[in-house]
Copies of this chain bind each other. A is one copy, B any other.
Amino acid sequence: MKIIRSPTSMATWSEQLRRQGVKIGFVPTMGALHEGHRALIREARLRCNALVVSIFVNPAQFGPREDLAKYPRPISQDRALCRKEDVDVCFEPTVEDMYPSGFQTMVTLPTIARRWEGEARPHHFSGVATVVTKLFGIVRPQIALFGQKDFQQSALVLQLVKDLNLGVEVVVQPTVREKDGLAMSSRNVYLSSDDRMRAATLYRSLQAGAEIIRRGVTNGKAVQSAMAQVIEKEPAITIDYLAVCDPATLEPLSSVMRQAVLLGAVRLGSVRLIDNILVVAKQARRKF
């Protein structure tokens, strides 16, 4: 496995392969790789000739009071995982190379970024959209894989690629979970052992919402209450939001007639967790 740090060398490597007709696959990450990343990398490996994984803790997507400095950076373990999964290039640019002096261009998607994570983290999605545009410009992949765990992020990337004609096939892969249902996340390491025990409550809450939709409940507020009830049984957990939304626009649905994404964000102590489930309404299923 090649480790490339300079964006210019990375772009040259990709350009040469593309000219030879090689299909380049790409999994952008912030490192601290877990089983969720491994699943993305494995799927990418099956879908391309040359596989690039980037490891870059992107300062532009962290807010001033967020965990940029303490974000985990276990680089040797990350590289070992990449090697094991047969990654061809581990791209590890520096902050200085990605955001040199004079850097100013920002990519924004005001509609998709407005709600949910965008409300909680005002410049987060603009930071994500900008770094994804940059990474796609450098790596020039034909295909890129993202995890469904960050649902709003994957919706944003799909819209971004379409809007800016970036010519990359974006594939969103299902969330990988711990045995108790907690979605894999690099931030799970922050949880105290007590909070770790409670953390799967978020997923159970989303499941409760999905379950009543499957059974035929269409009222968005009713679904939201069903989800909230599960969380409220755990006084140590604070709800940031629980929402029943259109999967494409992320706008709240008053009535679930076709498909919905149930989005949740909660706090356990200083740790913030997000998760989501996609669900098809009973009514929509009946049509087949």
Say whether, besides A11-B165, A137-B167, A140-B167, A159 and B105 are in contact (CB < 8 Å): yes
This protein's copies in its complex: 2
Q: Which of A34-42, A64-72, A106-114, A260-268 contacts B (4 or more CB under 8 A)?
A: A106-114
Q: Could you mark each residue 78-118 of chain A with 1 if its beta carbon is under 8 Å from any beta carbon of chain B, else 0?
A: 00000000000000000000000011111111111000000
CB <8 Å contact, B111 and A138: no
Encoded as 1 (CB less than 8 Å from any B CB) or 0, chain A from 136 to 176 comes to 01101000000000000000000110011111000000000
Q: Are the C-beta atoms of A105 and B165 separated by less than 8 Å? A: no
Contact: B167 with A104, CB < 8 Å? Answer: no
Q: Complex: how many Å from CA A140 to CA B140?
A: 11
Query: Residues of A within 8 Å of B, CB-based: how many?
Result: 32
Which residues of chain A from 1 to 51 have a CB within 8 Å of any chain B CB?
A: 7, 11, 15, 18-19, 21
Contact A163 B103 (CB under 8 A): yes
Question: A176 to B11, alpha carbons, bound, how many Å?
Answer: 35
What residues of chain B lie closer than 8 Å to A199, measured between beta carbons?
Answer: none
Residues from chain B with a CB closer than 8 A to the CB of A107 are 105-107, 164
Residues of B within 8 A of A129 (CB): 105
What is the bound-complex CA distance between A166 and B137, given in angstroms? 5
Complex CA distance for A130 and B108, rounded to whole angstroms: 10
How far is A104 from B165 in the complex, measured between Cα atoms in Å?
13
State whether the Cβ of A186 lies closer than 8 Å to any Cβ in chain B.
Answer: no
A285 within 8 Å of B (CB atoms) = no
Residues of A within 8 A of B (CB): 7, 11, 15, 18-19, 21, 102-112, 129-130, 133-134, 137-138, 140, 159-160, 163-167, 249
